[in-house]
A and B are shown apart, each in its own frame.
Chain A
């Protein structure tokens, strides 16, 4: 397991004025920490191992404990790291394929753990309560997989965009890939955006609004795109239907292999997964609003339209998602190169 780098400005000695920083001089302090993200898709295995080792069935609930208790505690213990890669190494950092593999490897682990969980559900060895605990644990993987899909889905490479959809199949949230890139990024921090939470809106009011609104928005975007090509939206060329077909095939294969007993748990983990993703979404733009310009249009998206956080642990697990302002300014920029921005409002530590 990679250890988390302590917050540090590990950028070596300051260069003399005028001397360019080159990769040879600069070391990425988080480089090995990114492997930590791969712990998430192994949670169902870890959970099983803990139950076996201790004999305590409460450990079937280890996934939510890990995400809601252990990680917030680690965030407090490890603290913040606002250090940025120097501008001169951004390009070099982005082309380093090591970082891509950190995200690609999430997927085989994600699906191995889903198959393993289905086997456990179908084995009849667990009580119903334990089965539910395992579904919650698998739901944590499912939800954080949407974040991994988010990182992959913003890229121009076909492979990464395809992997993004594969990662979304487990939660049935394939439309996210369309709505997020073409809807949310355009309308962020406006009342028209279903994925920007509003002041006074609780998470429980936000959740149904964002789920329904994102779905409607994604469908609208695809309908318009296909209509321009003279096609009906009812085709597999519709990226939403294509992505959902992946979920249908996946769930059908698992039901065929392990029996209909796994279906309710598959559905439950999907709902838990996308709800977890939406809690994270709720934080990102809460109450923030782009003002109207004189011509009546919204001002362009600026760093002050996203909440940011430099918590090391959650940023490592979520691929720098909380350096959200830089992500909105540079949506294609790879996670390892995202920067802390001084003007961005900060979430409490």
Chain B
């Protein structure tokens, strides 16, 4: 996992769907980085 963390695109591919599944698809319940809020909501928000 620490190797994955060092490669952000890979980390996001593995962890972001996992986190989203944890919140039942409701991305708004996650701790979202303010700088990336718009991008994250645009990518995952529609599925909620």
Interface residues of A (CB under 8 A from B): 67-68, 72, 189-191, 196, 198-205, 276, 279-280, 282-283, 285-289, 291, 304, 309, 345, 347-348
Contacts and interface: CB of A to CB of B under 8 A. Distances in A.
Contact of A199 (B3, B6, B8, B40): B40
A309 B39 contact: no
A345 B33 CA distance: 20
Interface string B8-44: 1001101110110010000101111111110110000
A283 B5 contact: yes
A286 B19 contact: yes
A202 B8 contact: yes
Given A200-B39, A201-B33, A283-B1, A348 B18 contact: yes
Contacts of A283: 1-2, 5
A304 B31 CA distance: 13
Most buried by B among A200, A203, A285: A200
**Does more than half of chain A's interface fall in helix, strand or loop, or is it mixed?**
loop
Given A204-B8, A287-B32, A348-B18, 15 more contacts: A191-B31, A199-B27, A199-B30, A199-B32, A199-B40, A200-B33, A279-B2, A279-B6, A283-B2, A287-B16, A288-B30, A309-B1, A345-B19, A345-B22, A347-B1
A199 B31 contact: yes
Contact of A203 (B11, B32, B39): B11
A203 B5 contact: yes
A199 B33 contact: yes
Contact of A198 (B2, B27, B32): B32
B39 to A, nearest CB: 7
26 contacts: A68-B3, A196-B31, A199-B27, A199-B31, A200-B12, A200-B33, A200-B35, A200-B36, A200-B40, A203-B11, A204-B8, A205-B35, A276-B2, A283-B1, A283-B2, A283-B5, A286-B15, A287-B15, A287-B31, A288-B19, A288-B22, A288-B31, A289-B30, A309-B1, A345-B19, A345-B22
